[in-house]
Amino acid sequence: MKFGTKAIHAGVEPDPSTGAIMTPIYQTSTYVQESPAKHKGYAYARGANPTRNALQKSIAALEGGNFGLCFSSGMGATDAVIKLLNPGDEVITSNDLYGGSYRMFTKVYERFGIKFHFIDLSNAKNAESYINEKTKLFWIETPSNPLMRIIDIEACVKLAKKNNCLVAVDNTFASPYLQNPLALGADIVMHSVTKYLGGHSDVIMGALVTNNEKIHQDLAFIANSCGAVPGPQDSFLVLRGIKTLHLRMERHCFNGKKIAEYLKNHPKVGKVYWPGFADHPNHEIAKRQMKDFGGMFSFTLKNDSLEKATQLMESVELFSLAESLGGVESLINHPASMTHASIPKEERLKNGLSDSLIRLSVGVEDIEDLIADLDQALAKV
Ligand SMILES: *Cc1c(COP(=O)(O)O)cnc(C)c1O
């Protein structure tokens, strides 16, 4: 089955009791049992819910994986992966990471004795000197947020497998439409479903997909034991959102390309970080491992002025100034004070994230209106 057909049909069967074509919202906490421990596969809704099950199958199919699990947020999903580890274990991860992941790794899990190495993984070889017998996991995010660096997933997998490490990929920015890490050898794919999969800025949710039954069972055990599971209403909304994922992604990519090119040619714009440009340092890897370049990117203004960047963010009318990404509406964001404020300033600067950097999540509106909005806002700065 091709991607668009899977987006509409995978995991979703007509409801067995009524034939309802849409999976019902099974708003229940428990299920009546025929006799003790004899039931229809559902005992208590932390463990399983039919609406959530349908969604888990759908997301697994989109990633080309056998097993899917949904969580109450992307961070809940990430948390479950880190809980596969033990005190003393070490993790190789990138230095250009989602702020919330960086915060969880350094502020929560370092206290539990897990060590994280934050490395520039845009060259996988940089990891070699950090690997030792305690290294158990590679946590990769590509394209990275907000600088759109691309990590070669296959190269990391090769290095990790040689050293018996698991590879987990945060695939949120690409969505399953653009990139499928399991096909490149990764063990686990993580999504902040909040973003492209949900697609309508109305749900917080996370997901994990794997082909490995043992890993799946371990993760399902953690999900049920620790309890970060999503509710059925949210699962329903995401099932609905996924039906148009392929259509939305086509437009995100189309609009993203037009705006990246528009900004690159604008005299007031400094640097545009978009992997679709032939002169992007990781363009060739992006072309190889992604189907297209998506609707996310960042840019600076000439002279790198924070004051002018602020002026621009206050002058846009159609773009909304907000955190998050991947919804149908276009958003503008200031990483240093918003999404990435939890990373200390010295760390941010060291990794090339300047105070004037502006991030766009290009939505699916008409391109003429989006460019007209940026044009009027840029004229004011
Ligand atoms: C948003 C996001 C997360 C966290 O997901 P939540 O659903 O907000 O908990 C993790 N990684 C990336 C790349 C994200 O954009």
Q: Would you state the pLDDT for residue 224?
A: 98
Q: How far is CA 48 from CA 52, 314, 335, in A?
A: 7, 45, 37
| Mutation to probe ligand 1, out of 195, 203, 297, 331 (largest number of atoms < 8 A from CB) | 195
Q: Would you state the pLDDT for residue 375?
A: 97
Q: Would you state the pLDDT for residue 63?
A: 98
| pLDDT tens for each residue of 13-64 | 999 899 999 999 999 999 999 999 999 999 999 999 999 999 999 999 999 9
Please tell me the distance between residue 84's alpha carbon and the centre of ligand 1 in angstroms: 19
User: Does the Cβ of 74 fall within 6 Å of ligand 1?
Assistant: yes
The span from the CA of 31 to the CA of 29, in Å, is 7
Ligand 1 nearest-atom number relative to CA 173: 13
Extents of the domains making up the chain = 3-242, 245-379
In this prediction, residue 346 has a pLDDT band, given cuts at 50, 70 and 90, of confident
Q: Would you state the pLDDT for residue 330?
A: 98
User: Does the Cβ of 98 fall within 6 Å of ligand 1?
Assistant: yes
SS3 sequence, the chain?
A: CCHHHHHHHCCCCCCCCCCCCCCCCCCCCECCCCECCECCCCCECCCCCHHHHHHHHHHHHHCCCCEEEEECCHHHHHHHHHCCCCCCCEEEEECCCCHHHHHHHHHHHCCCCCEEEEECCCCHHHHHHHCCCCEEEEEEECCCCCCCCCCCHHHHHHHHHHCCCEEEEECCCCHHHHCCHHHHCCCEEEEECCCCCCCCCCCCCEEEEECCHHHHHHHHHHHHHHCCCCCHHHHHHHHHHHCCHHHHHHHHHHHHHHHHHHHHCCCCEEEEECCCCCCCCCHHHHHHHCCCCCCEEEEEEHHHCHHHHHHHHHHCCCCEECCCCCCCCCEEECCCCCCCCCCCHHHHHHCCCCCCCEEEECCCCCHHHHHHHHHHHHHHC
What percentage of the chain carries pLDDT values higher than 70?
100
CATH number of the domain at 3-242, please? 3.40.640.10
| Mutation to probe ligand 1, out of 192, 325, 333 (largest number of atoms < 8 A from CB) | 192
Residue from 170, 187, 292, 373 carrying the catalytic annotation: 170
Q: Would you state the pLDDT for residue 336?
A: 85
Q: Would you state the pLDDT for residue 304?
A: 82
| Distance linking the first and last C-alpha atoms of the chain | 49
CATH number of the domain at 245-379, please? 3.90.1150.10
User: Does the Cβ of 122 fall within 6 Å of ligand 1?
Assistant: no
Tell me which residue has its CA closest to atom 4 in ligand 1: 74
Tell me which residue has its CA closest to atom 7 in ligand 1: 74
The span from the CA of 178 to the CA of 248, in Å, is 12
| pLDDT tens for each residue of 113-165 | 999 999 999 999 999 999 999 999 999 999 998 899 999 999 999 999 999 99
Does the pLDDT value for residue 173 go beyond 80? yes
| pLDDT tens for each residue of 241-281 | 999 999 999 999 999 999 999 999 999 999 999 999 999 99
52 is catalytic: no
Q: 56: closest CA among 197, 182, 244, 185?
A: 197
Q: What is the pTM of this model?
A: 0.96
Structure tokens belonging to residue 73: 């947020």
46 is catalytic: yes
Q: Would you state the pLDDT for residue 96?
A: 83
User: Does the Cβ of 195 fall within 6 Å of ligand 1?
Assistant: yes
Compute, in degrees rounded to 10, the torsion defined by CA atoms 68, 74, 75, 80.
0
User: Does the Cβ of 198 fall within 6 Å of ligand 1?
Assistant: no
240 is catalytic: no
Q: Would you state the pLDDT for residue 146?
A: 87
In this prediction, residue 349 has a pLDDT band, given cuts at 50, 70 and 90, of confident
Q: Would you state the pLDDT for residue 110?
A: 98
In this prediction, residue 361 has a pLDDT band, given cuts at 50, 70 and 90, of very high
Ligand 1 nearest-atom number relative to CA 75: 9
98 is catalytic: yes
| pLDDT tens for each residue of 293-344 | 999 999 999 988 889 999 999 999 999 999 899 999 999 999 888 878 877 8
Q: Would you state the pLDDT for residue 345?
A: 86
Q: What average pLDDT does the structure give for the chain?
A: 96
| pLDDT tens for each residue of 79-123 | 999 999 999 999 999 988 888 999 999 999 999 999 999 999 999
User: Does the Cβ of 51 fall within 6 Å of ligand 1?
Assistant: no
Would 3-242 and 245-379 be classified into the same CATH topology?
no
